[in-house]
Structure 1
């Protein structure tokens, strides 16, 4: 789709092991992508979010900063995996497919692409990352745990970044201004980072308990992908 796609594929070829490695990959993708590529605006917003997470994990008094760091790395790996799969022509979750397929649609706005990526990543990937990180750590995702408290401690910061993005990214992909359109305002106004993250944790608790039944696990994961795909399609309706 873009001449630099092979370079992006190379950048996301290996799963990172640390948050600094995650940030390095995101910065590489940011440096490669053109303004007219919708991927740039999701990746850029996610880079800002990850920098904030890294700062909080590194400096604040979290109950289990190691878990939060591992979750951040696992979470980012799912984005890189989806992008890698798309560029290789492999099947990927539908919620990611709807975004990557319209990367070059310049009638879209930057905020539409940024939020569509956040939708796919949080409404689909985050629950899976919480489950896999919990399994690796030998702990259970639970609302009564210090890990959940750490998880929600990030909400105010992340909500602030999303609200800033909603103001700064209301431009078409190439930077053209868009008229004051109530349809765009209505589309982005209701998207809440903290609400999406809370839903992801709830889904992780459900998915955790479904693990002994692979068939139900598959159906559940398919269901959350279906919901995220519908939301992504609604976010990505091109503007006039």
Structure 2
């Protein structure tokens, strides 16, 4: 879909952060709790609800920019879900999660991290560009909103690891899950998304180069997701 068409679609169906949360709840109702995409959806819903609370308390000075960035961000996830549901291929970054979503050897923490990896590592960069087009601004104008949303994500990632990681009495330092969980960092992924988003924005007048850059980013993030979803022995 062309950028202008995405913008028109966004404006026609803009519903804010509360609307995003409502869509996530509806999706979650249709999936078994153990489903890998459902696991990520619950994580993402908790992030969205936290952002909504922060908006309600005035934590984000520029509410319009924050809402726009968050809705653009969520639309990337919803598009991947719709593609998979329609039998189309979602972006490469999302394919491992949809392929392994019912694998009995993959643990909930792995599903959560793989989804976060796809959404932060790939979608956030493109959402930044989408938001800049919608708001008529540069990425630098959204840096504060980007960082504040990132701070919420980092705090919730810590909570997710505590909630989904088996207790320390069940894991050893050399345990495969300990190794996998410790090999990925949301903060590094967020920093990478900011750099990728700025690069995509700088390449906006070079569509061929921008497309190639986006495809390479998509594939690289998908490879990390596949590693995170390595089935583990009982």
Residue correspondences, number: 219
Q: Is the 8 A contact 1:82 1:93 kept in 2?
A: yes
TM-score of the two chains, using structure 1 as the length reference: 0.85
Measured after TM superposition, the shift of residue 150 of structure 1 is 2.6
Asked if the contact 1:115–1:235 (Cα under 8 Å) also holds between the matched residues in 2, the reply is: yes
1:95 aligned counterpart, secondary structure? coil
Q: Does residue 182 of structure 2 align to residue 184 of structure 1?
A: no
* Shift of residue 229, structure 1, vs aligned partner: 0.8
Partner residue in 1 for 2:155: 160
Distance 1:105 1:216, change over 3 A: same
How many angstroms apart in 2 are the aligned matches of 1:67 and 1:227? 29
* Alignment counterpart, residue 109 of structure 1, candidates 107, 110, 113: 107
Deviation at 1:201, TM superposition (A): 1.3
Change in CA separation of 1:95 and 1:161 when aligned onto 2, cut-off 3 Å: same
What is the aligned partner in structure 1 of residue 6 from structure 2? Answer: none
Q: How much does 1:61 deviate?
A: 4.1
Q: Using the TM superposition, give the Cα deviation of residue 39 of structure 1 relative to its aligned residue in structure 2, in angstroms.
A: 1.0
State the 4+ residue runs in structure 1 displaced beyond 6 angstroms. Answer: none
**Residues 17-63 of structure 1: CA distance to partner in whole angstroms, max 9, x if unpaired?**
31111100111122222133111110000111111112222323434
Give the Cα separation in 2 of the matches to 1:215 and 1:111. Answer: 37
1:84 aligns with 2:82: yes
Indicate the RMSD between aligned Cα atoms, in angstroms.
2.0
The answer for unaligned runs of 5 or more in structure 1 is: 1-13, 172-177
SS at match of 2:101: coil
What TM-score do the two structures reach when normalised by structure 2? 0.87
Match of 2:47 in 1: 49
- 1:229 matches 2:222: yes
Quick one: distance in 1 between partners of 2:14 and 2:221? 25
Among 64, 70, 73, the alignment partner of 1:72 is 70
CA positional deviation for 1:193: 2.2
The separation in 2 between residues aligned to 1:103 and 1:151, in whole angstroms, is 29
Determine the C-alpha separation between the residues in 2 that align with 1:16 and 1:154: 19
Asked whether the equivalents of residues 16 and 77 of structure 1 are also in contact (C-alpha less than 8 Å), the reply is: no
Which whole-Å CA distance do the structure 2 matches of 1:36 and 1:62 have between them?
34
Residue 204 of structure 1 corresponds to: 197
Higher deviation after alignment, 211-220 or 57-66: 57-66
Shift of 1:15: 6.1
Contact kept? 1:141, 1:148, Cα under 8 Å: yes
Specify the alignment match of 2:3 in structure 1.
Answer: none
